[in-house]
Amino acid sequence: MKHFGARLRAAMDERGPLCVGIDPHPSLLHAWGLPDDPAGLRRFSETAISALAGRVAAIKPQSAFFERHGSAGVAVLESTIRQLRQSGTLVILDIKRGDIGSTAAAYADAYLDPASPLAADAITASPYLGFGSLRPMIDTALASGAGVFVLARTSNPEGGAVQRAVGSSGRTVAQTIIDEIAQVNAGFDPMGNVGAVVGATIGGDPTEPPLDLAGMRGPVLAPGLGAQGARPGDLRSIFGAALPSVLGAYSREILTSGPGIDALRAAADRAAADLRHNL
């Protein structure tokens, strides 16, 4: 199997730089006329799969909205991952895990080992126990051809207090994480397996410290588009020369078009076209 960076690059080139989240909020289940239970969760996920699998570069299930339904919800998540991967669609599992030692290794086994029923093409991970704490996840990803997206500068407003802080090196925490990613990706072509999560919402703040992404050699997952307020036109000022590596992430703005499959596809097509025009 090709490594994740190469597979993602090919998918973005073929289908556009769009990642759609499967985020089954209780309010969305209600809006779709579905019960807030495992049966409703399954119907929601299967509808999203029918509409979007094979149509976008990647799909990003948010694990928490499955986990809240207990073991039955996790079973739906397993099925969702399996169906998407069987369709040839890249799965970025949004779990934001982060821990140390054997616990980090266990997370890696759960989500990145091909033998696991929850194995995804990539996961999101939190480096705030130290970037080195992610090494078991990164090593497993590199060995299995999977990927890891590391939180660097996130779209939530609370993130800035930590991520914009300046360390003894004179770099922000976010830039330090990006520089660590660059070291892991050295030598990979066209993109490395380790990417950064950088929120599309940060572009409207003139006080935001600029990020140097030029040497990262990895993909950038940009959440915050749509319902959180960011638009594709904001991306150029944030990412500059790194724009070709940006994967724009939408969830609610597309999902609220459901439950009709044609409407979901049309919303995804509009978002993909808008991203192509701006990236």
- Would the pLDDT of 1 be above 70? no
Distance between CA atoms of residues 28 and 68, nearest Å: 15
**Residue 193 is which amino acid?**
N
Per DSSP, 245 falls in state G
Torsion-angle region of residue 187: left (phi > 0), alpha (psi -120 to 50) or beta? left
Domains in the chain: ranges and CATH: 4-274 (3.20.20.70)
**Residue 116 is which amino acid?**
S
Residue ranges in 19-166 assigned as alpha helix (H):
26-31, 38-52, 63-67, 70-86, 101-111, 135-144, 160-163
Distance between CA atoms of residues 109 and 16, nearest Å: 30
pLDDT per position as a tens digit, 199-253: 998 887 788 899 999 899 999 999 989 878 888 988 988 998 899 999 999 999 9
> Which of the residues are catalytic?
96
pLDDT at position 190 is: 85
Q: For residues 268 and 21, is the Cβ–Cβ distance under 8 A?
A: no
What's the pTM? Answer: 0.96
**Residue 247 is which amino acid?**
L
CA distance to 36, 67, 97, 136, 201, per residue, from 119 (Å)? 25, 16, 14, 15, 30
Calculate ∠ Cα 23-27-30, nearest 5°: 110
